[in-house]
Amino acid sequence: QQQVKQSPQSLIVQKGGISIINCAYENTAFDYFPWYQQFPGKGPALLIAIRPDVSEKKEGRFTISFNKSAKQFSLHIMDSQPGDSATYFCAASFTGSGSARQLTFGSGTQLTVLP
């Protein structure tokens, strides 16, 4: 099963609040879990990524939490700002020797942070 399920589809948060986006996967061979941020008219940009050997990774206001047993991972945006308003995609992939990192993407979450 290659699918990555992402929720919610849309999210509205007040400025200063915490935004939480969740993803779940089935394929236990996945070994790389990135999050991408996409602004209107722009391509996705890598935001933060995690490997399954750690349960949490933090970069500034962005944190990935990873639960290997539940096959779930989530993005937390602390102190959300209007400039964080964008579409966020989770993804998962695995690589064999010499093979392409085929990213399987979630369907995206449109985040709106109200001023």
Q: Are 93 and 102 in contact (CB under 8 A)?
A: yes
- How far apart are the C-alpha atoms of 105 and 83, rounded to whole Å? 23
Asked if residue 51 binds another protein (CB under 8 A), the reply is no
Asked if residue 69 binds another protein (CB under 8 A), the reply is no
Q: Hunting for tokens 């700002």 — which residue is that?
A: 81
Asked if residue 105 binds another protein (CB under 8 A), the reply is yes
Q: Are 4 and 73 in contact (CB under 8 A)?
A: no
The minimum distance between CB 106 and another protein, in angstroms, equals 6
The residues that touch another protein, with contacts defined as CB under 8 A, are 4, 9, 34, 36, 41-46, 49, 89, 95, 98-108
